Amino acid sequence: MRVLAVESSCDETALAVYDGRQGRLLAHRVHSQTDVHAAYGGVVPELAARDHMRRLPILARETMADAGIGFDALDGVAYTAGPGLAGALMTGAAFAKGVAAAWGLPALAVNHLEGHILAPLLGAEPPSFPFLALLVSGGHSQIIEARAVGDYRLLGESIDDAIGEAFDKSAKLMGLGYPGGAALSRLAEQGDPAAIPFTRPMVNRPGLELSFSGLKTAVANAIAAGNAHHDVAASFERTVVETLAIKLERALDQIGLDRLVVAGGVAANGPLRRRLATLMAERGGRVFFPEIALCTDNAAMIALAGSLRLMAGERDTSVGFSVRPRWPLDGLKRPGQAA
Ligand code: KG4
Ligand code: ZN
């Protein structure tokens, strides 16, 4: 059961081929558009769509060559249908539907957030359901109860900026370029995480909501006050990590789970990985991360999610397609039960 997957929801063009029956990733490639958007300090939607148009056919050829199979050996095509930038999503959806039509294959619309959460299933020791999921990316910060594939309940999310966004905006204030999350984390290694006593947002309020725009303002003030960038970076990172640890512990207590999945671009963050590994070890539970390359946007996770749905008999052989720039996780269905 071989699936070709296409991811184009934001500023990465990605293709992958996954064999669902063997549980084997045959190939995956990611082309990052960082260079296209860096000068603007953020993603420009039209430029993202244009670059996807240029890259999709090239990457598809290269990824199929890596996998060592022809299009005639595929059983389906999966594509990210949302959430994301409308124009960017349309380029990938149109390409995927085109390949599907040309080779007489079923197409499968995949939710990008589900892809992120299921990415650890591509690892050597996949988590079993149910588990708690922390999804932390440039656009989302959510705490989710994952009961089964396709059965998700949102427990809490950021009421303002996403965590990745807070990393990126703070990095920009330090002149680290865009997207600066990983660069900020490298700078933080040289700083003192106790240098600036940032308030941990929302921890004194009950519930599982998150908020990061106030922290971003506090970072701006700390820089304006003349603190060294590496100390601000380290203190910011420590504050984010501790805030998440507190909220996750609360969520784990609330729903009585001992397995935690951490996914999305910010799941690549070293201090966050270490802190949550310690937290789960102390609780006698386990934490699961995607491998670093599969934390940020990629098509391997879309291929996996698509193959689970394809194997459950889901098909879409319609001529038209639609993308869903907003597509909440808790509106999904279990594989085989989609309308
Ligand atoms: O999942 P992703 O590739 O794209 C979205 O779906 O948003 O996540 C990208 C985000 C960016 O905000 C980036 O700065 C952040 O992940 N990021 C990191 C690290 N690596 C990537 N943030 C903190 N530490 C890192 N090591
Ligand atoms: Zn993403």
Residue 122 falls within a domain, yes or no? no
- Quick one: 135 and 282 in the same domain? yes
By alpha-carbon position, which residue is closest to atom 14 of ligand 1? 181
Which pLDDT score is estimated for 26? 98
The helix/strand/coil state of 42 is coil
Is residue 55 located within the same domain as residue 76? yes
Distance CA 70, CA 61 (A): 10
Query: Considering the domain boundaries, does residue 338 fall inside one?
Result: no
Q: Is residue 206 part of a domain?
A: yes
Do 253 and 160 have their domain in common?
yes
Cα of 140 vs centre of ligand 1, distance in Å, is 10
Residue 339 is assigned to a structural domain of this protein: no
Pair 43, 188 in one domain: no
Q: Give yes or no: residues 149 and 272 share one domain.
A: yes
Please work out whether the CB of residue 290 comes within 6 Å of at least one atom of ligand 1.
no
The answer to whether residue 315 is domain-embedded is yes
Q: Are 139 and 297 in contact (CB under 8 A)?
A: no
Query: Is the residue at 336 inside a domain?
Result: no
Q: Which tens digit of pLDDT belongs to each residue from 279-326? A: 999 999 999 999 999 999 999 999 999 999 999 999 887 888 899 999
Q: How far apart are the C-alpha atoms of 16 and 46, rounded to whole Å?
A: 24
Please choose from 167, 187, 239, 294 the residue to mutate so as to test ligand 1's pocket, defined by most ligand atoms within 8 A of CB.
Answer: 167
Return the CATH number at 201.
3.30.420.40
List all residues 6 or more positions away from 105 whose beta carbon is below 8 Å from its beta carbon.
74, 75, 76, 77, 99
Residue 161 in this model has a pLDDT that exceeds 90:
yes
Q: How many other C-beta atoms can be found within 10 angstroms of the C-beta atom of residue 244? A: 24
Task: Mark whether 161 and 92 lie in a shared domain.
Answer: no
- Cα–Cα distances (Å) from 316 to 43, 149, 219, in that order, read 31, 19, 47
Q: Ligand 1 in contact with 137 (CB < 6 A)?
A: yes
**Do 98 and 149 belong together in one domain?**
no
Residue 335 is given by DSSP the state T
317, 107 Cβ separation under 8 angstroms: yes
Q: Sorting pLDDT into bands at 50, 70 and 90, what band is 338?
A: low
Average of pLDDT values for 156-169? 97
Q: Based on the domain organization, do 30 and 171 belong to the same domain?
A: no
Q: Dmax of the chain from CA atoms?
A: 62
Closest ligand to the CA of 294: 1
pLDDT tens-place string over residues 10-59: 999 999 999 999 999 999 999 999 999 999 989 999 999 999 999 999 99
Question: What are the pLDDT digits (tens) for 104-150?
Answer: 999 999 999 999 999 999 999 999 999 999 999 999 999 999 999 99
Total residues belonging to the chain: 339
Does 198 map to a domain? yes
- 78 DSSP β-pair partners: 5, 108
Closest approach atom of ligand 1 to CA 164: 12
The number of the ligand nearest the C-alpha atom of 80 reads 2
Range of the domain at 284: 129-289
Number of independent structural domains in the chain: 2
**Tokens found for residue 136:** 């932390």
**CA–centroid distance, residue 311 to ligand 1 (Å):** 31
Look at residue 339 and tell me whether its pLDDT is greater than 60: no
Q: Are strands 76-82 and 2-7 parallel, antiparallel or unpaired?
A: parallel
**Residue-wise pLDDT tens digits, 176-214:** 988 999 999 999 999 999 999 999 999 999 999 999 999
Q: Which helix (H) or strand (E) holds 75?
A: none
Q: Kindly state whether residue 302 falls inside one of the protein's structural domains.
A: yes
**From the CA of 266, how far away is ligand 1's center (Å)?**
4
Q: Exposed/middle/buried for 242, CB within 10 Å: 0-12, 13-18, 19+?
A: middle
**Is omega for the bond preceding 83 within 30 degrees of 0, making it cis?**
yes
**In ligand 1, which atom is closest to the CA atom of 272?**
24
- Per-residue pLDDT at 315: 87
Q: Which of 235, 265, 45 is nearest to 134 (CA)?
A: 265
- The Cα 145–Cα 251 span in angstroms is 9
**pLDDT tens track for 222-272:** 999 999 999 999 999 999 999 999 999 999 999 999 999 999 999 999 999
Residues 149 and 285 in one domain: yes
**Exposed, middle or buried by CB within 10 Å (0-12, 13-18, 19+), for 16?**
buried
Q: Are residues 221 and 206 in the same domain?
A: yes
Determine if ligand 1 sits within 6 Å of the CB of residue 182: yes
Give yes or no: residues 300 and 284 share one domain. no
Measured CA to CA in angstroms, residue 170 lies from 123, 144, 197 at distances of 32, 26, 16
* Pocket flag, ligand 1, residue 83 (CB < 6 Å): no
- Of the candidates 294, 285, 288, the one whose C-alpha atom is nearest the C-alpha of residue 265 is 294
Q: Is the pTM value of this prediction over 0.85?
A: yes
Q: Let me know: does 243 contact 199? Beta carbons within 8 Å.
A: no
How far is residue 171's CA from residue 187's CA, in Å, rounded to a whole number?
A: 10
Alpha-carbon distance of 150 to 240, in angstroms, equals 29
